[in-house]
Amino acid sequence: MLLADRVAIITGGAKGMGRAMAVKFAEEGASVAIADISIKEANGAIAEVSRKGKKGLAIECDITSEKQVRGTVEKVLSEFGKIDILVNNAGGIIAAPPIEEMTEEQWDKTFALNLKSDFFFCKYVVPHMKKRKYGKIINLSSIGGIQPPHHAVAYNTAKAAIIGFTLDLATALAPLNINVNVILPGPVRTSFYDRTTSKMTDKEKDEFFARMGKKVPMQRAGTPDDLAGAALFLASDLSAYVTGETLLVSGGLPLLPPS
């Protein structure tokens, strides 16, 4: 098993990509803690982890609250005794109006959800990793951080900032055997698109994601499992000599799709 006896925290692990990562990590031997605002869905994900024969812990956490993040890290250390892997997966679009219509509150909330939360978790997990001289940190950015597919200025800017955040930490922590990498997902079929698809029938949703897939060189939208496989590589010792890497998991984007 690639993650035998490892302990992972996954933010936003209640559903979508984070849930797929939690299950994949458990399959490979890791105990998993999920930090998510939705405790009911987080408990459901941990039930899947348990069915893989591994220990899990669901923690209700507002990842934009430093106090709650600190408490979450303390709970994980109390329960498992260590933290080997941190996946800063949680994020999302708060609002995407034209910049002249965006409010300061929308801007700040977007950065809190997508960037400040990563800062909080690293602030409290990194000291523990430093003491042990081991750790894997995986941050989730977006292809929008390098080539925005549509105008969502606060979200795309925050996702670009996550890349810089990752590179700085990778440089600082490399001598301590702590790997810090960032994944840039392309279009992935998750609840991220609920704003658009929530009122669609199942057939209409299938058609929506099929059209989206036609814009991708590999001619399909991604799945949560696509991201889980990439995260597994970065969480395992297969990537022992990989740090500061910006890994696109995007079906070939930003390459152009076949004409």
What are the residue numbers of the active site? Answer: 155
Q: Rounded CA gap, 246 and 96, in Å?
A: 25
Helix, strand or coil, per DSSP, at residue 25 = helix
Helix, strand or coil, per DSSP, at residue 73 = helix
Element (H, E) at 70: helix 66-80
Q: Rounded CA gap, 49 and 30, in Å?
A: 9
φ, ψ for residue 150 (rounded to 5)?
-160, 170
Q: Where are the extended beta strands (E) located within the chain? A: 7-11, 31-36, 56-60, 85-88, 135-140, 178-185, 246-249
Q: What DSSP string runs through 101-142?
A: G--HHHHHHHHIIIIIHHHHHHHHHHHHHHHHT-EEEEEE--
Q: Rounded CA gap, 22 and 213, in Å?
A: 25
Element (H, E) at 74: helix 66-80
Nearest to 165 by CA among 114, 106, 237: 114
State both tokens at 176.
């301590």
Q: Which amino acid is at 2?
A: L
